[in-house]
């Protein structure tokens, strides 16, 4: 039985040597967390997770979420379904088109940009 275990261990070590270069070259984006942990156990340096660029994250409108939880308005339809990519500049909360304001400024009124 002991000999059988050592052959298995030898086989697994050889497999790690064979697949390590492919794992190091592989793109780690989008892999599930438990798979990344398994790769880390093999000794591969994992990339540092980066914050996604603005506009790629989606979330529920902060105002719609507050309104859907308001007990004084039980007849209100489920407004939680308003997903958006727009974030409010000051508080970084998601906000839908119906609860946000967009300013339209012509080219002459726009303040000059400092480059």
Query: Tens digit of pLDDT for each residue in 59-71?
Result: 888 788 777 776 6
Report the C-alpha gap between 67 and 49 in whole angstroms.
34
pLDDT of the residue at 11: 92
pLDDT at 74: 57
Instruction: Show me where the domains of the chain are located.
Output: 2-41, 59-99
Each residue's pLDDT tens digit, 3-38:
667 888 899 889 888 988 888 888 887 788 888 888
| pTM: predicted TM-score of the whole model, two decimal places | 0.38
């Amino acid at each position: 039985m002991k000999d059988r275990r050592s052959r298995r261990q030898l086989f697994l070590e050889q497999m790690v040597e064979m697949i390590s270069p492919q794992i190091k070259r592989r793109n780690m984006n989008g892999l599930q967390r438990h798979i990344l942990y398994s790769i880390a156990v093999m000794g591969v340096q994992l990339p540092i997770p980066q914050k996604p660029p603005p506009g790629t994250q989606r979330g529920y409108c902060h105002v719609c979420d507050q309104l859907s939880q308001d007990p004084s308005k039980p007849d209100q339809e489920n407004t939680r379904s308003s997903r958006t990519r727009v974030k409010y500049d000051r508080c970084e909360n998601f906000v839908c088109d119906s609860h946000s304001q967009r300013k339209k400024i012509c080219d002459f009124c726009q303040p000059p940009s400092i480059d």
